[in-house]
Amino acid sequence: MRHVIGLLYLATALVGFYWAIYLTLTGLYGLPFSRWYVVIFIGAVVLLVGAILWWTSSSEWTRWFPLIGSVLLAAYFIPAGIVLIRQGRIDLSRVVIVALVLVCLVVAIKERHVTTYPQLQRR
């Protein structure tokens, strides 16, 4: 299960990178630049670091990286998804992106609160 969660974090980080680059390049053609593009990029970087640390380290403090990265991405994608639903501009790719970010956030919250006590399990 550890590898699947790491792949979820990696996939969400790659989607965040793609979306930040897409929005930034779209801004080059006349749309104003937004601070949210930087937030998405930083969230993707933090989530990518979290995915790498998820596979390589079992320290308790490394579980904060996926949580922080997921929160940063969710801060943009959830309200953006709500706006798209209200406007009636729903397409499958955007729904999948918002669902991926939501699943990643839920898993990161759940895994942050999972605490194991090795000395108690030996008994």
State the virtual CA torsion across 55, 58, 59, 64 in degrees, nearest 10: 40
Q: Distance (Å, rounded) from C-alpha 72 to C-alpha 58?
A: 23
pLDDT value at residue 34: 87
Question: Would you say residue 120 has pLDDT above 60?
Answer: no
pLDDT value at residue 55: 92
pLDDT tens column, 61-108: 899 999 999 999 999 999 998 998 899 888 888 889 999 999 999 999
Higher pLDDT, residue 27 or 51: 51
26-55 mean pLDDT: 90
Question: Would you say residue 12 has pLDDT above 60?
Answer: yes
- Are 86 and 48 contacting, i.e. CB atoms less than 8 angstroms apart? no
Query: What region, left, alpha or beta, does residue 88 occupy, with left being phi > 0 and alpha being psi -120 to 50 degrees?
Result: left
Question: Would you say residue 123 has pLDDT above 50?
Answer: no
- Please state the domain extents for the chain: 2-115
Higher pLDDT, residue 81 or 121: 81
Q: How far is CA 42 from CA 72, 79, 86, 91, 106, in A?
A: 8, 18, 27, 26, 19
The token duo for 60 is 């308790």
Q: Distance (Å, rounded) from C-alpha 118 to C-alpha 120?
A: 5
Give the 3-state secondary structure of 61-84: HHHHHHHHHHHHHHHHHHHHHHHH
Percent of the chain with pLDDT over 70: 92
